[in-house]
Amino acid sequence: MQLSRRVTDTPPYLFHLIDEKRKAAQKKGIDVISLAIGDPDQPTPSFVLDLMDEEMRDPRNHSYPSYKGEPDFCKAVAKWFDGRFGVELDPETEIMAVIGAKDAVSHLPFVFLDPGDSALVTDPGYPVYEAAIGFAGGKVIRVPLVEENGFLPDLGAISPRDADLAKIMFINYPNNPTSAVAEKSFFQRLVTFAVKHDIVILSDNAYSEVYFEKADRPISIMSVKGAKQIAIEIHSFSKTFNMTGWRVGFVTGGKDLINAFLTLKSNFDSGVFMAIQRVAARALEHPEAATFNKERTALFKNRRDRIARVLTDLGLRFQLPRASYYFWVRIPDSYPSSVEFCANLLEEKGLIVTPGIGYGPSGERFFRLSMTSPDERIDQGLERLKAFIKELL
Ligand code: PLP
């Protein structure tokens, strides 16, 4: 058997490796606590489950879905988008259903890149961006995110040559792993930059609903004039409604961009189960959605503040997360690498956090800690982290 270079050149998926490590440690009898993965511990809310009970029994939902997404799904998304971001979208041409944000992230590079083309990616960043660019035969140009710049890319520091070479740029605010949020002024600069250099912006807004203060409420790049022509924004129900396993999301953008993606996707897959699309559409409009969102925000804000207190007491350096599920924390100066830090933490204390290097070279001096485990497991995990850090001193 000879595998393609596409596969042999791609490193194993970070979270798959972490999962393997967790299983191996558990096999040794270690009670492992994982604060590594961003998968909400809370179930999908019961009002969504009730909708599913209805929709899955409706035979009109059992056949192949339309490739673009069901008209009622696209209409509900358009209505929600207008209410939430103040942006009008044409449900027929500017919205398309996807099988979770990862579907869009992993396939969009194929729409814009020919082998050898370049793509800008923020570093650190969600690992799928680089993998997908690689699968499409593209070359990655990393744009560092540093704390001094609020973990936003410094567009002025991208060389004109790289900017002209790049055909796409992945951007992700609220950001995984740094939890930074971008203001409208940043998106305005980004759109100007993209128009100047003829770059398609792929804006991953999977965490748009996971924020803690009203002032930090994430915006949509689509609210910037001219963005529709040069950007695709990616959304997901995974985090908004604790629906990670359901695999549903959508993309928005100008008609030509969406059409181009449709050409690819209609050949690659057969869309999202119609029952799930209809549940998702009805969830957006459901009277219980607002209450659920409020409760979810309160839960994560409480966790965020508790975790922040412990990390501060331990003298660890981090910025208070403004959105998303993650703490992006500096490893102690005495440690040579994030991998060593995380490996020792697992071996000595049975606690898994993610090494920053997994998100790109700029993540080397960081680890990522996720707040998506039950409160008591988070508390136990923090006790283990405390013991580990204290032994270093
Ligand atoms: N984009 C980012 C930045 C993510 O962190 C994740 C998942 O953790 C995804 C996309 C994938 O989301 P989905 O479950 O909608 O595929």
Tell me how far apart the alpha carbons of residues 318 and 89 are, in angstroms, rounded to a whole number. Answer: 38
Tell me how far apart the alpha carbons of residues 167 and 198 are, in angstroms, rounded to a whole number. Answer: 7
Provide the edge-to-edge strand list for the sheet that holds 166-171. 95-98, 249-253, 231-236, 200-204, 166-171, 118-123, 139-144
Which residue's alpha carbon is nearest to atom 5 within ligand 1? Answer: 176
Which residue's alpha carbon is nearest to atom 1 within ligand 1? Answer: 206
- The Å distance, Cα 269 to ligand 1 centre, comes to 19
Q: Is the CB of 126 under 6 A from ligand 1?
A: yes
- Helix ranges (H only) for the chain are 5-8, 14-27, 46-56, 71-85, 101-112, 128-135, 160-165, 184-197, 227-230, 255-268, 274-285, 288-313, 338-349, 375-392
At 185, the pLDDT band (50, 70, 90 cuts) reads very high
Q: Is the CB of 121 under 6 A from ligand 1?
A: no
pTM score: 0.96
Task: Give the model confidence (pLDDT) of 240-284 as tens digits.
Answer: 999 999 999 999 999 999 999 999 999 999 999 999 999 999 999
Q: Is the CB of 244 under 6 A from ligand 1?
A: yes
Q: Is the CB of 362 under 6 A from ligand 1?
A: no
Residue type, 23: K
The upper half-sphere exposure of residue 356, i.e. CA atoms within 13 Å in the direction of its Cβ, equals 25
Average pLDDT over residues 79-98: 98
Name the pairing type of β-strands 200-204 and 139-144: unpaired
> Which domains, ranges and CATH numbers included, belong to the chain?
5-43+290-392 (3.90.1150.10), 47-284 (3.40.640.10)
Mutational pocket test of ligand 1: of 238, 239, 251, 325, the residue with most ligand atoms within 8 Å of the beta carbon? 238
* pLDDT higher than 90, residue 11: no
Q: Is the CB of 277 under 6 A from ligand 1?
A: no
Q: Is the CB of 204 under 6 A from ligand 1?
A: yes
Q: Which residues pair with 253 in a beta bridge?
A: 232
Q: 222, exposed or middle or buried, with CB in 10 Å at 0-12, 13-18, 19+?
A: buried
Q: What is the pLDDT of residue 28?
A: 86
Q: Is the CB of 177 under 6 A from ligand 1?
A: no
From 300, 291, 295, select the one nearest 212 (Cα to Cα).
Answer: 300
Tell which atom from ligand 1 comes closest to the C-alpha of 244: 14
Mutational pocket test of ligand 1: of 172, 204, 240, 368, the residue with most ligand atoms within 8 Å of the beta carbon? 204
Tell me how far apart the alpha carbons of residues 94 and 102 are, in angstroms, rounded to a whole number. Answer: 19
- The Å distance, Cα 368 to ligand 1 centre, comes to 15
From 234, 261, 13, select the one nearest 132 (Cα to Cα).
Answer: 13
Q: Is the CB of 174 under 6 A from ligand 1?
A: no
* pLDDT higher than 80, residue 76: yes
Q: What is the pLDDT of residue 371?
A: 97
Tell me how far apart the alpha carbons of residues 306 and 302 are, in angstroms, rounded to a whole number. Answer: 6
Tell me how far apart the alpha carbons of residues 289 and 294 are, in angstroms, rounded to a whole number. Answer: 9
Q: What is the mean pLDDT of the chain?
A: 96
* 3-state SS, residue 330: strand
Query: Could you report how far apart the first and last alpha carbons of the chain are, in Å?
Result: 51
* 3-state SS, residue 115: coil
- The Å distance, Cα 388 to ligand 1 centre, comes to 30
At 18, the pLDDT band (50, 70, 90 cuts) reads confident
* pLDDT higher than 90, residue 327: yes
Mutational pocket test of ligand 1: of 15, 121, 126, the residue with most ligand atoms within 8 Å of the beta carbon? 126
Backbone angles phi, psi at 156, to 5 degrees: -70, -20
Task: Give the model confidence (pLDDT) of 122-181 as tens digits.
Answer: 999 999 999 999 999 999 999 999 999 999 999 999 999 999 999 999 999 999 999 999
Tell me how far apart the alpha carbons of residues 370 and 146 are, in angstroms, rounded to a whole number. Answer: 20
Q: What is the pLDDT of residue 393?
A: 75
- The Å distance, Cα 206 to ligand 1 centre, comes to 6
Q: Is the CB of 101 under 6 A from ligand 1?
A: yes
Q: What is the pLDDT of residue 313?
A: 96
3-17, 22-36, 174-188, 378-392: range with lowest mean pLDDT: 3-17
Mutational pocket test of ligand 1: of 121, 170, 203, 236, the residue with most ligand atoms within 8 Å of the beta carbon? 236
